[in-house]
Structure 1
Amino acid sequence: MEKADNPIKLVREKIADSCKRARRKPGEVTLIAVSKTHPAEAITPLLEQGQRHFGENRVQEAQDKWPVLKESYPDTVLHLVGQLQSNKAEEAAEIFDVIHSLDRPSLVKALAKAKDKLGRCPECFIQVDVGEEDQKGGCAIADLPDLIAQARSAGIPLAGLMCIPPAEIEPAPFFALLDKLARDNGLEGRSMGMSGDYETAIMLGATHVRVGTALFGQRGTHA
C-alpha cells in the first residue's frame, strides 16, 4: 500500500538504499520528478512534500503549467528532459533552469543566441546516443568532443551528459559507457535512469535520475 499512498517516499528510500550500496551519499543524486502530461493538481502534492526538481518534455506544456506553480514554489528547478527544436531555444531558455537534450551544433548556436538576448542560459546536459539509435535524439559518440568544445566556446554552461538506453535491453552497459564518457571529458553530471532502472543507474554513477511513472502512475493518470 505504501507505493499507492506515498510514492515519493518510496522512491526516495530506494535512492538512499542504492546510494548506500554504491557507497555514495544520497545528496549526490538529484531526483527529477517527470511531470509531463500530468496537471498541476497532480504535481502539487509532491511540491508539498518538498520535491523541487521537475521535468517536462515540451516547452509549451511547461509554459502552460509552471508559471502559476512557481509563484507558490519559487525555488522549483525546472528541467527540460525532452527533445528541443532550435526554433524553441529562446522560449526554453526563458522558462527552464536545466536542459537535458543538447545534441547538435545548431542547437548550441540557437541557445547561444538566446543567451545573448536574454542574459541567461540554462545549464545543459549533452544527450549522447549511446545505443546508436537513429530514431532517438542524441549526439553520436564520435562527435561528442567537438560538440563539447563548441558548447564551451559559445559560453553554454555544461552540467554533464545524458542518455536514454535502448528499450528492452539491459541498461547497465549503457550507463557505464556514459559514466566513462563523462569522466573522459571532464564532466561531472550524469543524467541517466528512469522509473524502471534508476537504481541501476545510481550504482553506475548517475547524478540525476528522471522518474515519472513511479511517482505519478501511467501518463495521463493521477491515481
Structure 2
Amino acid sequence: MTRILPAIAALILVLAGGAWLSGRSATDALVAPALGQDAAADVELMPDYVLGDDAAPVTVIEYASFTCPHCANFHGDQFKKLKTNYIDTGKVRFIHREVYFDRFGLWGGLLANCGGEVRYFGIAGMLYDQQKDWIGSGDPTEILANLTKMGKTAGLTEEQVDACLKDEALATRLVATFQAHAETDDINATPTLIIDGDKHSNMSFNDLAAIIDEKLADS
C-alpha cells in the first residue's frame, strides 16, 4: 500500500503546460501553486466515472494512483475478478477516483480523462497494465512520448493528447476533485476501497468478495 505524504497531500504539484515540456528537473517543476481549500471550492469538480448498473445494490469506490505499483497489481488481479463476478452481473456499481502522488500520475489522469466517459476506463486500464513500460526510466520526455503513444493506441490523435496534457483547466479540476474527495473520505493511502460507505485498505479478492457478499445479503 502506498501512503500519501503530507507534501503531496498539500498538492505542491505542477499542474500543466510549458514547465512539463521545458526539460527542467522534477524538483524545479514542482513549483506551480497548490490549491487551497478556498481555491478548490471555486472549481467545478469532475464527475465520477462509473462501471456497472446504477441500480446495483452495492457501490465500491476505489481510490488509486496511476503510478502506484500496488494499484497496478490490484487492477491486474482483484479488479478483473470484481468486474467479472460483481460489476458485469449487476451486483456492484464501481467508481474509480484518482489520487496524485506526483506529476506523472497527474499526466496519466489527464490522458485518461482526455477520452471522456467513452474511453476513460479503457485508458485507465492501459495505464495500470503498462505502468512499468510507460513510466520507464522516469525521464519526463520519455514518459510524455509513452503517454502520447498510448493515447494514439486508444484512438486519440497526437494533437488531442498534446492538448489534454497541456490543459491547465482540466488539471486544476482533477486536483481539486482529488482534494475534495480525499478529504471527505479521509484517504491517506492507495489503493483504498470505500464499500457502501465503509473504508477498507487493500485486500485479497476473497476478502473483498466476502465483504461484498455480506453487503448483498443485507440489501
Q: TM-score normalised to the size of structure 1?
A: 0.32
Q: Which has the higher helix share?
A: 2
Structure possessing the higher relative contact order (Cα contacts under 8 Å, 6 or more residues apart): 2
TM-score computed with the length of structure 2 as normaliser:
0.32
